Amino acid sequence: MSNSQLYTQISVLSPDLKKEVSDFVAFLKQKAKNKQKIKERKFGYAKDFFKMADDFDEPLGDFKIYM
């Protein structure tokens, strides 16, 4: 679809629908901007964010009746 065809379709909409189109375009721009941020992450970004307990591999006490 060309820009002129898109403009023609939008120009015949009512003002409230034009506002919805405007909001949707803003949403799409923000969505594209957020995707770019994800690509900027670097290795080690979450270092020390998660803590693993020393007894991580030990069986849980809640499951003693099943063992």
Nearest partner of 25 among 45, 10, 15, 12, judged by Cα: 10
pLDDT attached to residue 38: 61
Is pTM beyond 0.75 here? no
Q: Which residue has the tokens 């080690």?
A: 44
How many domains does one find in the chain?
1
Domain span holding position 18: 3-66
What angle (nearest 5°) sits at the alpha carbon of residue 42, between those of residues 53 and 29? 115
Report the distance separating Cα 43 and Cα 29, nearest Å.
27
Q: What is the pLDDT of residues 9-44, one digit of tens each?
A: 999 999 999 999 999 999 999 988 877 666 666 788
